[in-house]
Amino acid sequence: MRLRVLGCSGGIGANSHTTAMLLDEDILIDAGTGVGTLSLDELSKIDHVFVTHAHLDHTAFIPFLVDTTGSLRDRPLVVHALPSTLKCLQTHIFNWHVWPDFSCIPNAACPYMRYEPIAVGETVVLGSRKITPVPAHHVIPAVGFQLDSGRSSLVFTGDTTASDALWEAINQITNLRYLIIESAFSNANQDLAIRSGHFYPAMLADELNKLQRDAEIYITHLRQGEAEVTMREILAGVTCFSPHRLMSNHIFEF
- Confidence (pLDDT) at 92: 98
CB 182 within 8 A of CB 227: no
Which letter does DSSP use for residue 187 in this model?
G
Dump pLDDT digits (tens) for 141-175: 999 999 999 999 999 999 999 999 999 999 999 99
Identity of the amino acid at 42: E
pLDDT tens digits along 188-220: 999 999 999 999 999 999 999 999 999 999 999
Q: How many domains does the chain have?
A: 1
Strand, coil or helix: what is 142? coil
**210 with 167: CB under 8 angstroms?**
yes
- Note the pLDDT of residue 116: 98
> In the prediction, which pLDDT does 228 show?
97
How many residues comprise the chain? 254
Strands ordered across the beta sheet of 48-50? 113-117, 77-81, 48-50, 27-31, 20-23, 2-7, 251-253
What's residue 42's pLDDT?
98
Q: How far apart are CA 238 and CA 254, in angstroms?
A: 25
pLDDT of res. 46: 98
What distances in angstroms separate CA 127 from CA 81, 131, 148, 150, one per listed residue?
A: 19, 11, 11, 11
Q: What is the mean pLDDT of residues 96-108?
A: 97
Cα separation, 31 vs 5, in Å, equals 11
Q: Are 97 and 57 spatial neighbours (Cβ–Cβ below 8 Å)?
A: no
Bridge partners of 125, per DSSP, are 130
* Average model confidence (pLDDT) across the chain: 98
The CATH number covering residue 174 comes to 3.60.15.10
pLDDT of residue 86: 98
- Phi and psi for 50 in degrees, rounded to 5? -100, 120
Domain that holds residue 25: 2-253
Pair 79, 116: CB distance under 8 Å: yes
Query: In DSSP terms, which residues pair with 117 in a beta bridge?
Result: 81
Question: What was the pLDDT predicted at 99?
Answer: 98
What totals of helices (H) and strands (E) does the chain contain, helices first? 8, 14
Q: Quick one: what percent of the chain has pLDDT higher than 90?
A: 98
Distance, CA of 97 to CA of 116 (rounded, Å): 23
- Give one DSSP letter per residue of 98-110, joined into a string: SS--GGGSS-SSS
Judged by DSSP in three states, 31 sits in: strand
pLDDT band per the 50, 70, 90 thresholds, residue 248? very high
